[in-house]
Structure 1
């Protein structure tokens, strides 16, 4: 039984120590996901563990299954109500934003790494999308309570942008292989994959989600663990079935979870704590395995150019893409800068970097090593500063118990959103906007904002600032009033 006991003992000890280190590391703000990744690298052939591991097929299989579970968990927690503020910008970020980010990064990578332009763009596609596992985990652990617009945009984008990254990666691999001597075929089949990825992914996800919700509502009550196991097995089946017909399993399983979570909320809500366990187990296993694939001595040989690619992605490509996509939606500049910074890269780029290795693309190992560096830098720099950036850019809302910060954000006075604007202006000596003089305070603020309102939105009125303090659905129910210090006194 040694062939069972020795690997099982080694794997369990590695996972235990990684989780223990991750729990301790969160106290100092170190990303727990990075702990798993580094633990895998240390257990590999260049680390103290000395275990040689190069099974890319197994890693690819585990990575896809783990991402399916993570996206399912994210979809179950995505409420339809967040679509009011986050759906349209997220869709643009998940499609055009990924393409822009990949294009800029790819051009820079070609120059920094002296790669053919096709290989450079392939690297851009591999690292072009944000990672759902990283975004969900780091937002949760950051302790920052983000306003609804920012949180919804980040979470929905990270759940929807994988299909675009997969499409670009597959398309560019095909372009590179077709350019090799003796290659046959043209780009037409590759172009069709775009419609296949999004079309089948959307259809399978929505239909399967509706059917599963209908079934869940009619099943007798069961233990939370059993329900979670039912959800995971169904989600993996949807993921695999969609892939078999050429669709995006990533998109399908996210939409499946979202439809199921909103249509059968009472049944799925009881299983969310158990789903948390499945999601963390998936993340731990995936990051450990991907860490084992990396050979640090090889990574060090390209560390300089790889750091340049990471800097280009974080400081140029991602901000340009976010500004271009969010400009039509009247996001505040500080919200756009924050969303730009929280473009976290995680396991998805490393999983996508396995695609070229399995396809036999030239320089595939170089792309894999650079993607690993990009992920480590993103988790280390962006992941550890989410809370700081949220407070610095003023997109974090105060906790209810923090009276001092609550008054600083919302002001000293609380007004009913239904109050007549004319009465508010007369009482506080503020100029009355003639265009809507007879409107309610909430209606005037909604018009002045020009976008769906969220808690924390501000509208200036004379020397005062009106702040959305509470919402009832899409309606502003409570408004905070901030006056200059001398007037407030």
Structure 2
């Protein structure tokens, strides 16, 4: 296929995914399922696009996950994760191991009962479970972000930190088990444990120190064109991942730690960098799910539907809750409802599917069976857990007040978070000028400051005696959400207060 043809198809698929995702999001359908669905519809069993390059799919998935994890680290605040870092680490390590163990044993028993002719070994069953043992960072970031879910008791940063840091453990279990199956013989448990510990130490160390070095470079280097600074950050992201791999560390953990260090430091063009990575992260998610959707043959999922459904339900309702409650036993102050909700948000997404490609490329027996099972369970998890995530939080009384989304259409201005204030823009209405059309006559709260006015295509800084017209757009700075709400109500815009 010619490059121009590939680019044309890719652009069409990206556009369709964005449109479908927006429509589906309004209907409450997780957008990640829709991205997968677009790929499946246009794949070999649908429109007929044939994509079966496992190495390319693995490469796309690995690069996309690298960027998603780095972006997740950038957007994670130390102040938010500090109170819950111990709990998150337990979930990201012990929780993953327990989930893999429980699910692996159940899978081995189930396959022996339903599919004895396959001859699935215990090691293969645990490999299948290990592939799915981590919560998916892309799914958690996307669903919590797209639904604007705000949770009580530091649950949101805990879930995001867990999902961003538990992929490395699942990856190490997957790679280790693939090696054991191919090598045969009895596993050397002490060596496996030592290898995992070393990968964690090396990954954490490189992520931390290279992240610090990146901040140093960004604040010392002088470049006339500011567009290069976000590119430098992207370069460090790729370097951290690849360099860690070459020194036998865990690149997924390193890249998340690196993003965490960089995101919590001050450096030039920080806001621009965050916006760029938000966009790249979503593009990566779309590409990753589209690729995986194209890769799978939906017809092949039908023969494994029954065992996949049973394994998926066992993981969602038994293995994940057991793992969460056991891992969090030392934290007795955590309530039952908090643990129940954490259990529910055990979302599987693109990461398990990417990890399921590893046995295929390695030539492991029953690799295609593992891939199909994992793909089916991923769809089940996102549809079931993702769709009812907000509702479960509501049932458990854990929903917090939603943060206001302030979109700037006419004033491209955003204040650094450390200032403590934020800006918003509103339109002057008839109600606002009923007592006079001068700025001093506007019914604004005392701590709301109008810093700029847009009239038609012209911008100017107002004074107290500046006359305002209906339709003028005001850029206003406020100190908190309460003042913002008062501003909208006093200006006659209560119905358009952003939610």
Q: Kindly state the Cα deviation for residue 36 of structure 1 after the two structures are TM-superposed.
A: 1.1
Sort the Cα spacing of 1:361 and 1:261 in 2 relative to 1 into closer, same or farther, 3 A.
same
| Structure 1 stretch displaced more, 243-252 or 222-231 | 222-231
Secondary structure in 1 matching 2:2: helix
Partner of 1:272: 274
Secondary structure in 2 matching 1:271: helix
Sort the Cα spacing of 1:323 and 1:185 in 2 relative to 1 into closer, same or farther, 3 A.
closer
How large is the Cα RMSD of the aligned pairs? 2.0
Partner of 2:315: 313
Partner of 2:61: 63
Partner of 1:22: 21
Alignment of 1:288-437 (within 5 A): 288-329=290-331, 330-399=333-402
Partner of 2:246: 244
1:81 matched to 2:84? The reply is no
State how far apart, in whole Å, the 2-side matches of 1:4 and 1:355 are. 27
Secondary structure in 1 matching 2:135: coil
Sort the Cα spacing of 1:397 and 1:221 in 2 relative to 1 into closer, same or farther, 3 A.
farther
Secondary structure in 1 matching 2:48: coil
Partner of 2:125: 120
Q: Kindly state the Cα deviation for residue 190 of structure 1 after the two structures are TM-superposed.
A: 4.3
Q: In the alignment, is the contact (CA less than 8 A) between 1:178 and 1:185 conserved in 2?
A: no
Alignment of 1:25-104 (within 5 A): 25-47=24-46, 49-104=47-102
Q: Kindly state the Cα deviation for residue 188 of structure 1 after the two structures are TM-superposed.
A: 6.6
Partner of 2:180: 175
Q: Kindly state the Cα deviation for residue 225 of structure 1 after the two structures are TM-superposed.
A: 5.1
**Alpha-carbon deviations, 1:238-262, whole Å to 9, x = none?**
1011011111111001000111111
Q: Kindly state the Cα deviation for residue 272 of structure 1 after the two structures are TM-superposed.
A: 1.2
Q: In the alignment, is the contact (CA less than 8 A) between 1:175 and 1:187 conserved in 2?
A: no
Partner of 1:166: 171
Q: Kindly state the Cα deviation for residue 228 of structure 1 after the two structures are TM-superposed.
A: 2.8
Alignment of 1:466-485 (within 5 A): none
State how far apart, in whole Å, the 2-side matches of 1:256 and 1:7 are. 34
Q: In the alignment, is the contact (CA less than 8 A) between 2:218 and 2:229 conserved in 1?
A: no
State how far apart, in whole Å, the 1-side matches of 2:167 and 2:395 are. 29
Q: In the alignment, is the contact (CA less than 8 A) between 1:350 and 1:372 conserved in 2?
A: yes
1:129 matched to 2:138? The reply is no
Q: Kindly state the Cα deviation for residue 231 of structure 1 after the two structures are TM-superposed.
A: 1.6
Q: Kindly state the Cα deviation for residue 221 of structure 1 after the two structures are TM-superposed.
A: 7.5
State how far apart, in whole Å, the 2-side matches of 1:400 and 1:15 are. 29
State how far apart, in whole Å, the 2-side matches of 1:282 and 1:367 are. 24
Q: Kindly state the Cα deviation for residue 24 of structure 1 after the two structures are TM-superposed.
A: 0.7
Question: Alignment partner for residue 205 of structure 2, among 203, 212, 225?
Answer: 203
Q: Kindly state the Cα deviation for residue 184 of structure 1 after the two structures are TM-superposed.
A: 11
Partner of 1:105: 103
Q: Kindly state the Cα deviation for residue 113 of structure 1 after the two structures are TM-superposed.
A: 2.6
Equivalences, count: 397
- Unaligned runs of 5+ residues in structure 1 are 402-469, 471-489
State how far apart, in whole Å, the 2-side matches of 1:126 and 1:184 are. 21
Runs of 4+ in 1 over 3 A off after TM superposition: 183-192, 219-227
State how far apart, in whole Å, the 2-side matches of 1:4 and 1:286 are. 19
State how far apart, in whole Å, the 2-side matches of 1:53 and 1:60 are. 12
State how far apart, in whole Å, the 2-side matches of 1:69 and 1:221 are. 24
Sort the Cα spacing of 1:327 and 1:221 in 2 relative to 1 into closer, same or farther, 3 A.
farther
Partner of 2:409: none
Q: In the alignment, is the contact (CA less than 8 A) between 2:61 and 2:354 conserved in 1?
A: yes
**Alpha-carbon deviations, 1:51-100, whole Å to 9, x = none?**
22211111111111000100110101111112332200000000000000
Q: Kindly state the Cα deviation for residue 108 of structure 1 after the two structures are TM-superposed.
A: 1.2
